[in-house]
């Protein structure tokens, strides 16, 4: 059976499904991370980003609409793996001083995955002449990058708290 040759349009649609699935998983995971975090600042960072993530799902739905497709996810093994590792940190470090440092690092792994996906999708939207889609993807990309930076800053505090001997 001959398969249809696939073009960038198909890749764009497939990757949109991947990140749509990923965002929905992240939406379910962030409250668990907020609950597990000891630092009030880290808890707040997770709560704030959960709210932003709702917006990411909505923007993706708009991008699906722009390309005339129904919003639908496709299992993303990468995000499931990253989330699974985050869960392991919560289990293995519960009540340990290094818990928050581990949570911040797990959250940054999620952000970096998203930054990679949104960067790619934006570049493809530009190539495909999808100006409105590109703008929506750039807005989310900027929020993911901002979250990553604030987690780096917060990380310094939680890393210090996790260290046995202060320098
Ligand atoms: Fe996101
Ligand atoms: Fe994010």
pLDDT in tens, 100-122: 999 999 999 999 999 999 999 99
Q: What is the CATH number of the domain that holds 80?
A: 1.20.1260.10
> Which ligand has the shortest distance to the CA of 112?
2
* Dist. CA 150 → ligand 1 center (Å): 15
In the reported structure, the alpha carbon of residue 148 is separated from the centroid of ligand 2 by a whole-number distance in angstroms of 8
**What mean pLDDT, rounded, does the chain reach?**
96
Q: Is residue 21 part of a domain?
A: yes
Per the structure, the complete domain to which residue 70 belongs is given by 8-166
How many domains does the structure of the chain reveal?
A: 1
Q: How far is CA 52 from CA 14, 23, 62, 115, 158, in A?
A: 23, 11, 15, 14, 23
Give a yes or no: residue 2 inside a domain. no
Ligand 1: distance of its center to the CA of 144 in Å? 6
- pLDDT higher than threshold 80 for residue 167: no
Whether 3 is covered by a domain: the verdict is: no
Residues 133, 153: Cα–Cα separation, whole Å: 31
**Domain annotation covers residue 34:** yes
pLDDT at position 38: 95
The answer to whether residue 150 sits within a structural domain is yes
């Amino acid at each position: 059976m001959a398969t249809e040759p696939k073009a960038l349009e198909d890749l764009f649609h497939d990757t949109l499904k991947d990140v749509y699935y990923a965002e929905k998983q992240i939406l379910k995971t962030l409250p668990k991370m907020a609950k597990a975090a000891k630092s009030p600042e880290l808890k707040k960072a997770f709560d704030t980003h959960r709210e932003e993530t709702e917006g990411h799902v909505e923007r993706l739905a708009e991008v699906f609409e722009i390309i005339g497709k129904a919003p639908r996810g496709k299992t993303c093994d990468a995000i499931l793996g990253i989330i699974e590792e985050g869960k392991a940190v919560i289990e293995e470090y519960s009540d340990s001083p290094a818990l928050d440092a581990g949570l911040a690092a797990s959250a940054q792994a999620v952000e970096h995955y998203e930054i990679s996906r949104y960067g790619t999708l934006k570049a493809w939207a530009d190539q495909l002449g999808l100006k409105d889609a590109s703008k929506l993807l750039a807005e989310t990309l900027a929020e993911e990058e901002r979250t990553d930076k604030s987690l780096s800053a917060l990380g310094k505090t939680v890393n210090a708290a996790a260290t046995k001997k202060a320098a």
